[in-house]
Amino acid sequence: MKISIKNLHFKTILGILEHERTTPQTISVHATIWYAWDEHSFIDYADVCALLEMHMHSKHYGLIEDALKDLSHIFLEKYPQATKIKLKISKPDILPNAVVGVTHTQKRSKN
């Protein structure tokens, strides 16, 4: 199975510039999650949205790349049935003529 979350948006501290460290800005998160499904083991997409937003608010990441790697790791630890996650974080308001962002894909490591 695959879960798709698009345009989860909220304001948070994200960035390395001085004003980005003090003023929350809107970010947009997209997530695609592959997982092994059965009727007793599913992933609640509302919980996923809450998890992503909560960690973004609590950590105040400097780089998008650091946020993506950390969120991927946290997610795969919390949801053992997930086999892969693809996350994209965009900043829709940082440039006047473009939406910029970074994408990261992480597969569950085989132990």
pLDDT (tens place) for every residue of the chain, 111 residues total: 999 999 999 999 999 999 999 999 999 999 999 999 888 888 999 999 999 999 999 999 999 999 999 999 999 999 999 999 999 999 999 999 999 999 999 999 876
Of 95, 30, 102, the residue nearest 62 (C-alpha)? 102
Domain spans, the chain:
2-107
**E runs forming strands in 1-111:** 2-12, 25-35, 82-95, 98-107
Q: Are 25 and 12 in contact (CB under 8 A)?
A: yes
- Residue 109 has a pLDDT of 86
Six token digits for residue 27: 């970010």
Please tell me the predicted confidence (pLDDT) of residue 92. 97
So what's the pLDDT on residue 22?
96
Question: How much is the pLDDT for 111?
Answer: 63
Q: What is the CATH number of domain 2-107?
A: 3.30.1130.10
pLDDT of residue 110: 76
Quick check: 36 and 83 in contact, CB under 8 A?
yes
- pTM metric for this prediction: 0.93
Q: Which two tokens stand for residue 14?
A: 């994200």
Of 1, 36, 32, 30, give the one whose Cα is nearest residue 101.
30
